[in-house]
Structure 1
Amino acid sequence: MNRKIMIDCDPGQDDAMALMLAASSISNLRIEAITTVAGNVDVDKNTRNALRLCDLLELKDVPVAKGASRPLVREMLIAADIHGKSGLDGTAMPEQPVKQTVRVHGADLIIEKLLASEEAITLVPTGPLTNIAMAIRKEPGIIPKIREIVLMGGGTYGNRTPAAEFNIFADAEAAKIVFESGAPIAMFGLDVTHQARANAETIEEIRAIGNPVATAVSDMLTFYLNAYQGLLGRTSAAIHDPCPVAYLIDPSIFQLEPVHVDVETKGEFTYGMTCVHKGVASDHVNAKFAGKLDPKKFWDLFYRALTTYSS
């Protein structure tokens, strides 16, 4: 039986790859909804990108809802230096999508889907956690209906600051609400996503697959890798957001351990830091922490997913 998921995202080249993996025919996941949030770029651009990706992946029946346009407390933070002005630079997909959004706020769609479902649904946030936090605060009754929150964010070090990863830094107040909600959480932070790296050889292998989805992914990765090289001087780029989706499809790719995570919201230099406490008593655990992945298994899964799309 397919596992029901909702993807909350800010596409984003790596968000796009997460969607591609979830929608592929090798996936055991059923996408119930896609919601968007301000993150890599503003929420309007992220929403347009989600719709464009749905057109590419032929997700005609999956509702897409625009969510939070800014963090709960802070001013909006974007990452156009990595993802481009559109948030999804580097692809030849049509600029204007055919698919349209549903007329409901993303946080409300999360609430509606959870309350209406007979089975628990897994939430997969790959951007800031604003929509998830808003849904939990508005309707705490959804928490028992959440099978798991499998998120990309945080880590024991940062990429936006020395202490904080971008998604958590962008709305640490929201992240704090989520980690303190009591919902089951699996956390895929920089410690593990930096082990999923793409380079020029990766791009050529993907391009050789030859179908339109693989071509779009190779184009996105080319832009993404060039951004990494230009800003950081690196010859490979971390592919963050597909990690939680890959875990849901094949948990054997990853090693996770029980931890307690606190989110720093008051530090002058540590705002957005996820303080990961390992070796804690079982009654103090609030998350599973992904520390290692098998790169060969990860990329084998990724390539197999791309080959399932039609030419």
Structure 2
Amino acid sequence: MHTLIIDTDPGADDVIALLFAMAAPEALKLQALTTVAGNVPLAKTSRNARLACEWAGRPDIPVYAGAEQPLQRAPIYAANIHGREGITGVTVHEPAAPLAEGHAVDYLVRTLRAVPEKSLTLAMLGPQTNLALALEQAPDIVRGLRELVLMAGAHFNGGNITPTAEFNVFADPHAAEAVLKCGVPITMLPLDVTHKILTSDERIARLRAIGNQAGQIVADILGAYAPQEMRHYDMPGGPVHDATVIAYLLQPSLFRGKLINVEVDSREGMGFGQTVADWYGSLHRTPNVNWIVEGDAQGFFDLLTEHIARLP
């Protein structure tokens, strides 16, 4: 059982990840969602997080809005991939449940100071600005963290926003740099693995065939989102990046990686936002990340479909 907070910037694949997580209450004790600007501006990521709660029948899960902009760099968004509203393929609306009162960073500080030592897992599906701000304000909060699980970075695959950088890191490299240095156990699911776990017509059809609202929503999102990724990368299917974090938390045996040293290039230039993953230990620096490179694609989609079937 993971006592869990999900920090997120929904985003099509984030919404699928949130539905996935909310379908597993026996394994993931979800305390709250914290939102950050990323795929789209903060107002829309916060609305989309609340929409996911509504679609999952979990309006009881509080959603705290967080950072509107990165620590230092100018904000960037990914509306070219996720659409102007952050989710393609479905109609969005204003959810009935309001945002929780207070700022996400304050919520993280307050919560991590109150929980038992090494008891809370933080899943991070977007830029890592909220946690970086919390660590700057209250470095002692690391005592409450059991593990950080991030969808972030790229090495063998190359980037998806520049030739070397993955979007979540590129959107706030200075925040990622701070998080990687915090000393908490970190697992990263980079493009190296997410680009191996791809949709197919059959996998989307299985989700649609569940017959519930959630299955229809996930199938519609993937049906709209996957083709543009397939065209851009010349891949046979589309990745469901952020949902791999939830699959890892539920069934880590689906994945394989290695403990290595990872650092972020935050210097302006061609390498800005690159995750420098020392896979072969060439620099002889202390490993700080469990870097995932392989995943069981069919096992992932079986697990996702099984969980989405539990929702309304």
Aligning the two structures, in what range does the TM-score lie when normalised by the shorter sequence?
Answer: over 0.9
Distance 2:180 2:122 in 1: 13
Cα RMSD after superposing both structures: 1.7
The answer as to 2:274 corresponding to 1:276 is no
Distance 1:6 1:161 in 2: 29
Distance 2:26 2:15 in 1: 15
The answer as to 2:28 corresponding to 1:34 is no
Q: Which residue of 1 aligns with 2:85?
A: 86
The answer as to 2:307 corresponding to 1:305 is yes
Distance 1:127 1:208 in 2: 30
Give 1:282 deviation, angstroms: 9.1
Q: Are 1:40 and 1:83, in contact at CA under 8 Å, matched by a contact in 2?
A: yes
TM-aligned CA distance change 1:79 to 1:27, over 3 Å: farther
Unaligned runs of 5+ in 1: none
The answer as to 2:253 corresponding to 1:252 is yes
Distance 1:178 1:232 in 2: 29
Give 1:163 deviation, angstroms: 0.7
Q: Which residue of 2 aligns with 1:236?
A: 237
Q: Which residue of 2 aligns with 1:140?
A: 139
Counterpart pick for 1:286 among 285, 288, 294: 288
Q: Are 2:132 and 2:179, in contact at CA under 8 Å, matched by a contact in 1?
A: yes
The answer as to 2:71 corresponding to 1:72 is yes
Q: Which residue of 2 aligns with 1:226?
A: 227
Distance 1:274 1:267 in 2: 14
Counterpart pick for 1:110 among 100, 108, 111: 108
What is the TM-score when the length of structure 1 is the normalising length? 0.95
Distance 1:67 1:275 in 2: 27
Unaligned runs of 5+ in 2: none
Q: Are 1:149 and 1:183, in contact at CA under 8 Å, matched by a contact in 2?
A: yes
Distance 2:91 2:211 in 1: 15
Distance 2:271 2:206 in 1: 40
Distance 1:282 1:274 in 2: 17
% same residue: 36
What is the TM-score when the length of structure 2 is the normalising length? 0.94
Distance 1:283 1:268 in 2: 24
- The number of residues matched between the two structures is 308
Q: How does 1:44-193 map to 2 (within 5 A)?
A: 44-93=43-92, 95-118=93-116, 120-156=119-155, 157-193=158-194
Q: Spell out, residue by residue over 1:127-149, the C-alpha distance to the aligned partner (whole angstroms, 9 max, x if none).
A: 00101111111110111111011
Letter in 2 for 1:62: I
